[in-house]
């Protein structure tokens, strides 16, 4: 009788251990959730995260604590996310450069295959702009001038192999032109150089240029198939006969590889709800971005497609980090 009792207790105990992870996931989150943002506080990426975080916290019933891990073109923050404890209390803000470009240029401290995709949260169109001093008003005129004087026009970027660099490189490859690259340490000094005429051309996220359009910067085209609400009269590269010049920055939530599926689903459901809120859509739009959600597989496939595209541009342009 005693043996039977002990056996029953043992089975019950084992059963308790077997179901305890389920209960813990069902109760998630039981404490604040950390969101690693791989860029500095106050920048465009950080601002996007800070629009989403408060409402996401309301949906989940726990605060979302932003942890800025800037440096190395976003790879420090991605690395910290991928290697974090997969307990559902660390997520990351996925940025494209460290996923789709840098793997073709250097050895990274993480494997891209280990990134766990939750959902896209925003896409930011890239636009092609020229300085107030340059006497061109259309993309056609810019291309014609660049063909007339190969290498004479300077274009700025936020650094070697950044999206602004690759955006102009892609335009140059498709249009058959050549301009001289001038790399700066970030988007802000590149925009300043454009305003001052130090460089004549800049392809940049719309969010980086919006605050400066009143100072004479001329936006010639949106690099993609769709016009943007903030600049309804600016044509797209597709309209202008360059459909392959399609550049935008896609941001989303990522997680450590072994994060439980049930927690991943809860986080994605909460993000979908937040991104559907009119107030959140409006705040994201005010930053020159577009709120968008996705399935994990859609996010993964998009990053894979972008990686293939940029690998070809890097190879053809013989681009390096130096």
Helices in the chain by DSSP H: which ranges?
2-26, 44-60, 75-82, 139-148, 163-175, 187-196, 206-209, 261-275, 278-286, 296-317
User: What CATH number is associated with residue 233?
Assistant: 3.40.190.10
Condensed to tens digits (0 to 9), the pLDDT of residues 254-271 reads: 999 999 999 999 999 999
Considering 247, 275, 307, which residue would you say is the last residue of a domain?
247
Q: Is residue 8 part of a domain?
A: no
Considering 247, 262, 297, which residue would you say is the last residue of a domain?
247
Q: Is residue 320 part of a domain?
A: no
113 to 69, 117, 221, 260: CA distances (angstroms) = 21, 10, 34, 17
**Domain that residue 197 falls in:** 125-247
Count of domains for the chain: 2
234/92 same-domain check: no
Alpha-carbon distance of 261 to 137, in angstroms, equals 51
183 to 50, 63, 157, 162, 212: CA distances (angstroms) = 28, 38, 5, 9, 20
Q: Is residue 5 part of a domain?
A: no
271/242 same-domain check: no
243/261 same-domain check: no
pLDDT tens, per residue, the chain with 322 residues: 444 444 444 444 444 444 334 435 569 999 999 999 998 888 888 999 999 999 999 999 999 999 999 888 889 999 999 999 999 999 999 999 999 999 999 999 999 999 999 999 999 999 999 999 999 999 999 999 999 999 999 999 988 888 899 999 999 999 999 999 999 888 889 999 999 999 999 999 998 899 899 999 999 999 999 999 999 999 999 999 999 999 999 999 999 999 999 999 999 999 999 999 999 999 999 999 999 999 999 999 999 999 999 999 999 999 998 8
191/216 same-domain check: yes
Chain position carrying tokens 């766990």? 116
Alpha-carbon distance of 172 to 170, in angstroms, equals 5
Q: Is residue 16 part of a domain?
A: no
270/227 same-domain check: no
């Amino acid at each position: 009788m005693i043996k039977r009792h002990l056996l029953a207790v043992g089975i019950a105990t084992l059963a308790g251990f077997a179901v305890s992870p389920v209960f813990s996931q069902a109760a998630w989150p039981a404490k604040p959730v950390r969101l690693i943002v791989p860029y500095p506080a106050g920048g465009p990426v950080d601002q996007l995260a800070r629009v989403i975080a408060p409402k996401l916290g309301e949906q989940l019933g726990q605060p979302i604590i932003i942890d800025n891990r800037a440096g190395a073109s976003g790879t420090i923050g991605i690395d910290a996310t991928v290697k974090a404890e997969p307990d559902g209390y660390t997520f990351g803000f996925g940025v494209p450069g460290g996923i789709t470009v840098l793997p073709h240029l250097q050895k990274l401290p993480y494997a891209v295959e280990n990134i766990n995709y939750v959902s896209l949260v925003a896409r930011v169109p890239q636009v092609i702009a020229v300085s107030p001093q340059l006497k061109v008003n259309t993309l056609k005129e810019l291309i014609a001038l660049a063909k007339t004087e190969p290498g004479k026009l300077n274009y700025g970027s936020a650094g070697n192999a950044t999206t602004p660099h690759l955006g102009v490189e892609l335009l140059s490859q498709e249009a058959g032109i050549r301009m001289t690259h001038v790399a700066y340490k970030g988007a802000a000094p590149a925009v300043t150089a454009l305003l001052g005429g130090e460089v004549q051309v800049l392809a940049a996220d719309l969010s980086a240029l919006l605050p400066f359009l009143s100072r004479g910067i001329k936006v010639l085209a949106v690099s993609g198939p769709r016009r943007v609400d903030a600049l309804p009269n600016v044509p797209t590269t597709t309209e202008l006969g360059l459909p392959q010049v399609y550049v935008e920055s896609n941001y989303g939530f990522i997680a450590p590889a072994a994060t439980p599926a049930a927690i991943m689903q809860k986080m994605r459901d909460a993000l979908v709800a937040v991104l559907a809120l009119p107030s959140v859509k409006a705040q994201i739009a005010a930053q020159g971005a577009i709120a968008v959600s996705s399935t994990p597989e859609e996010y993964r496939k998009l990053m894979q497609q972008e990686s293939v595209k940029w690998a070809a541009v890097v190879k053809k342009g013989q681009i390096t980090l130096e």
